[in-house]
Amino acid sequence: MILKLLPTLIVAASLVSTLPSQAARFEAAVIGNVRYPAAPLANAARDASSVAAALAEAGFSVSAYFDVERASMDSILAEIGEQFRGADLSVFYYAGHAFQYNGQNQLLAVDVDELTAETINEKRVPLTSILEATTPEKDDPGSVASLRLIIIDACRNDPFSSIDDAFSQGLSFEESGDAQTLIAYSTSAGELAFDGPRGGNGPYALAFSRALRRKGITVSQALRSVRRDVRIATESLQIPWVVGSTETDPQFKPAFSDTIARETVSARAPKLGDVVWWFLRNELTANTLSDFISAFPGSSFIDQASQRLRDIQIVRSDTSRQLVLANGAVSSATILELERARTVFETQVGFQPDTDIPAELFRIWPDRLPRVENGLAQLVTRCDMLASDPADPQRVAPPIRGGLVNIREAARACGFRLNEDPENPRILFQFGRVLDLAGRYDLARYYYLRASGQGYSAALTNLGFMAIKGRGGDVDYDTAAAYYRQAAQLGNLRARTNVGTMFVKGQGMDPVPEEGVLWYRLASGMGWANAQNALADLYRKGRGVKKDEVAAAALYHLAAANGQRAAMNSLGRSYLAGWGVEPDRNKSHLWFQRAIAAGDRFAPVFFARDLIATGAGSADPDRVIDLFKLSADRGFRDGYRELARLYLDGVVVPADPIKAYFNARLAEIGKVKNIEKILARARNQLTEGQIAVIERRVEQQRRLNGI
């Protein structure tokens, strides 16, 4: 399926203007491959559709291709190359299968009916072919200043590496070739990416779509934002990376963001329809607009919705007409294509992940619930499927972590459901959560309060979290403590743990660690792993309770068995130091490896240090380097300091003052302690010219991947 989307910078249809005659030209092409007969994916089509829509809103002319067969790929690439010719900014986005073949990155056409080396070889498309097709011609007058961004959102599972030795999991970080070209990989080299919950979106597509809608955001800012958001959403199990170089950093041009303007919707007594409108005001499908008009006839935006619907119906029925909107126009062909894209977007494919990534990030849930009396089918709504909170003990559907919630889709689903069932505390809470994730904290508080008024403990807990973090106001420990206590009395385990922490730290109440221990014990005894880990820390340190390293180790074991990754790291350290257990280096390394696999950012450093101490690091220096880099990438910037020291002292690896200075500078920017002497020692071994080159590398790293 091939779709052409014009820029859809959409506001009220009554606002009409034209594009400036010298406006920058933004071009984009999107490929979403999902219907692989031998290895279908869950969300590649939805991700491609979401990204295509977000790019169109950001001022791009977008070509979208779904389920591309190998025979069509060459002509499609030629078409894309022509489309990109002369563009000021061009973006290519691919969602589908990808892998390495003899160390070279490959994308995969959709017509793979069996997983054999011969078939896959016939259907693979080298990434270099994409680069060649989209590289500006040397005689192209805009080639010097134009920026090309290639996004590979792939490697969602690995059905390839077991087929033949020539095939490898994940992708390598190929150089992007010419200047002004960036390649953005959705995950680290050789690693797998999340495909996301079935019927939802992958974390990279969600993060990139959100970034495109932030006003004034540049390409490098967007890529850094995506990297941070994906890392947080997947708890450090997926870390995007960008390679390449660029001298320009153009801004995207969104018509509006997902942030609801405060002057538009009041938080005191908001009209539900006004809030919902904010999440569908760019809608170009008639059915959704009709549903809104029917559901919210009293909305302040009903006239805009009605006018938009009339314009779309006229345009759709008359191929000579265009719907003229602020900064652009949408043709009748585009209206029809968007409706077709929506069909692709809603496609459901049977899916069981073939991956070692924790399954709780996937929606393992039947397409249709059994229709039985008093069964879940009578409770579960689309709102539940899109917005259920992992920490909500009253949820009725699989949980979705904050970074994986499709805010627009969830806001629409919960808003429409709340209109039908306005006092349902679970739906009130979930609608509040979506608004919380969208950054409209005052509106979130309004719906949380309505849910908490009916004793909904997760709403009280989230209100406490907003107060303790200062979301929508100043940090207020007293208010946070009050909300947490109410939720704790209702049996909410997260709230009970937080009450314990506030007693331990003296936040919102007198510091009484002994009382904190009691609250931790309550939550621990009911299976809350975070409380078990926190209680273990107190036993190990002897705070609020008599020091007992044996008890601490037992609790770490319990929490680790329940998936608590900090406890896994603490067990690794316990077996090294003999905290409550017999020292056992093999068990220590086993727990460090489990913590690393679970996404812990500290375990790689502790593990690497011990490999160096035992001499094992000398036999496998690449492993040591990779471990320190992993910690740094996951947010523990001390990994940069460890790398700088490694290269400066020539331990495990040959001394290299250039690499030592590079990593020391990253550590300094990351505000790592005790880096000054290491930085000075490295600087003294370099010339001014060498330092200038390194500083350019540091700046490139900071701009594209952050620190």
Count Cβ atoms below 10 Å from residue 619 Cβ, excluding itself. Answer: 11
Q: Is 216 in contact with 229 (CB distance < 8 Å)?
A: no
Burial of 46 (0-12, 13-18, 19+ CB in 10 A): buried
Count Cβ atoms below 10 Å from residue 587 Cβ, excluding itself. Answer: 16
Q: Which two structure tokens, joined as six digits, stand for 454?
A: 């009916």
- Show Cβ contacts of residue 680 under 8 Å, excluding neighbours closer than 6 positions: none
- Terminal-residue alpha carbon distance, the chain: 40
The predicted structure's pLDDT at residue 53: 82
- Express each pLDDT in 375-385 by its tens digit: 888 899 999 98
- Residue 37's nearest CA partner among 366, 350, 485, 274 is 350
Count Cβ atoms below 10 Å from residue 114 Cβ, excluding itself. Answer: 10
Average pLDDT over residues 36-47: 84
* pLDDT for residue 640 is more than 60: yes
Q: Which two structure tokens, joined as six digits, stand for 220?
A: 């490098």
Residue 334 to residues 68, 93, 341, 342, 526, Cα–Cα distance (Å): 20, 20, 10, 12, 55
Q: DSSP character for 23? A: P
The H helix count followed by the E strand count for the chain is 29, 13
Count Cβ atoms below 10 Å from residue 355 Cβ, excluding itself. Answer: 18
- Show Cβ contacts of residue 353 under 8 Å, excluding neighbours closer than 6 positions: 42, 157, 195, 359, 362
Distance of CA 527 to the CA centre of its chain: 28
Residue with tokens 């991947």: 705
**What distance in Å separates the CA atoms of residue 16 and residue 6, rounded to the nearest whole number?**
16
Count Cβ atoms below 10 Å from residue 221 Cβ, excluding itself. Answer: 17
- Show Cβ contacts of residue 252 under 8 Å, excluding neighbours closer than 6 positions: 58, 59, 211, 212, 214, 217, 218, 219, 222
> SS3 helix, strand, coil % of the chain, rounded to 5?
50, 10, 40
- Show Cβ contacts of residue 266 under 8 Å, excluding neighbours closer than 6 positions: none
- Express each pLDDT in 528-573 by its tens digit: 999 999 999 999 999 999 999 999 999 999 999 999 999 999 999 9
Q: Is 432 in contact with 444 (CB distance < 8 Å)?
A: yes
Percent of the chain topping pLDDT 70 = 86
The predicted structure's pLDDT at residue 119: 87
Residue with tokens 């590649």: 44
573 vs 34, more confident: 573
Q: Which two structure tokens, joined as six digits, stand for 21?
A: 């005659």
The predicted structure's pLDDT at residue 42: 75
Q: What pLDDT band is residue 141 in, cutting at 50, 70 and 90?
A: low
**What distance in Å separates the CA atoms of residue 108 and residue 622, rounded to the nearest whole number?**
30
Report the top-level CATH class of 18-245. Answer: alpha beta
**What distance in Å separates the CA atoms of residue 643 and residue 630, rounded to the nearest whole number?**
11
Biggest distance spanned by C-alpha atoms of the chain: 81
H/E segment holding residue 98:
strand 98-101
Q: Which two structure tokens, joined as six digits, stand for 336?
A: 């029809």
Distance of CA 595 to the CA centre of its chain: 21
Phi, psi angles (nearest 5°) of residue 686: -120, 155
**What distance in Å separates the CA atoms of residue 27 and residue 7, rounded to the nearest whole number?**
9
- H-type helices in 213-254, by residue range? 219-233
Residue 521 to residues 4, 480, 510, Cα–Cα distance (Å): 59, 21, 19
Q: What region does 501 belong to: left with phi over 0, alpha with psi -120 to 50, or beta?
A: alpha
H/E segment holding residue 90:
strand 89-96
The predicted structure's pLDDT at residue 216: 83
**Residue 95, strand partner residues:** 32, 153
Q: What pLDDT band is residue 269 in, cutting at 50, 70 and 90?
A: confident
- Express each pLDDT in 641-677 by its tens digit: 999 999 999 989 999 999 999 999 999 999 999 999 9
Count Cβ atoms below 10 Å from residue 370 Cβ, excluding itself. Answer: 8
**What distance in Å separates the CA atoms of residue 183 and residue 230, rounded to the nearest whole number?**
17
SS (H, E, C) 431-483: HHHHHHHCCCHHHHHHHHHHHHCCCCHHHHHHHHHHHHHCCCCCCCHHHHHHH
Cα angle: 242, vertex 244, 247; to 5 degrees: 115
Count Cβ atoms below 10 Å from residue 259 Cβ, excluding itself. Answer: 13
Average pLDDT over residues 473-478: 95
Percent of the chain topping pLDDT 90 = 57
Residue type present at position 266? S
Q: Which two structure tokens, joined as six digits, stand for 227?
A: 């990297």
Q: Sheet containing 89-96: which strands, arranged edge to edge?
A: 2-5, 60-66, 26-32, 89-96, 147-154, 181-185, 241-245
Q: Which of 56-70, 378-392, 448-462, 496-510 is least confident?
A: 56-70
Q: In a 3-state reduction of DSSP, which class is residue 96? A: strand
> Can you point out the beta strands (E) in 220-289?
241-245
Residues in the chain: 707
Phi, psi angles (nearest 5°) of residue 145: -90, -15
Q: Is 189 in contact with 152 (CB distance < 8 Å)?
A: no
- Express each pLDDT in 317-367 by its tens digit: 776 776 765 555 566 766 666 666 666 655 544 444 444 444 444 446 776
- Express each pLDDT in 149-172 by its tens digit: 999 998 877 787 788 888 888 788
Average pLDDT over residues 131-145: 68
Average pLDDT over residues 450-472: 97
Count Cβ atoms below 10 Å from residue 159 Cβ, excluding itself. Answer: 18
The predicted structure's pLDDT at residue 367: 67
Cβ density class 27-44: b for 16+ within 10 Å, e for less: bbbbbbbbebeebbbbbb
**What distance in Å separates the CA atoms of residue 85 and residue 141, rounded to the nearest whole number?**
9
| Sequential DSSP letters for 350-390 | -----SSS-GGGS----SS----TTSGGGT--HHHHHH--T
Distance of CA 585 to the CA centre of its chain: 35
The predicted structure's pLDDT at residue 374: 86
Q: What pLDDT band is residue 57 in, cutting at 50, 70 and 90?
A: confident
Count Cβ atoms below 10 Å from residue 653 Cβ, excluding itself. Answer: 17
Domain limits, the chain: 18-245, 611-705
Q: Sheet containing 98-101: which strands, arranged edge to edge?
A: 124-126, 104-108, 98-101, 167-168
The predicted structure's pLDDT at residue 103: 82
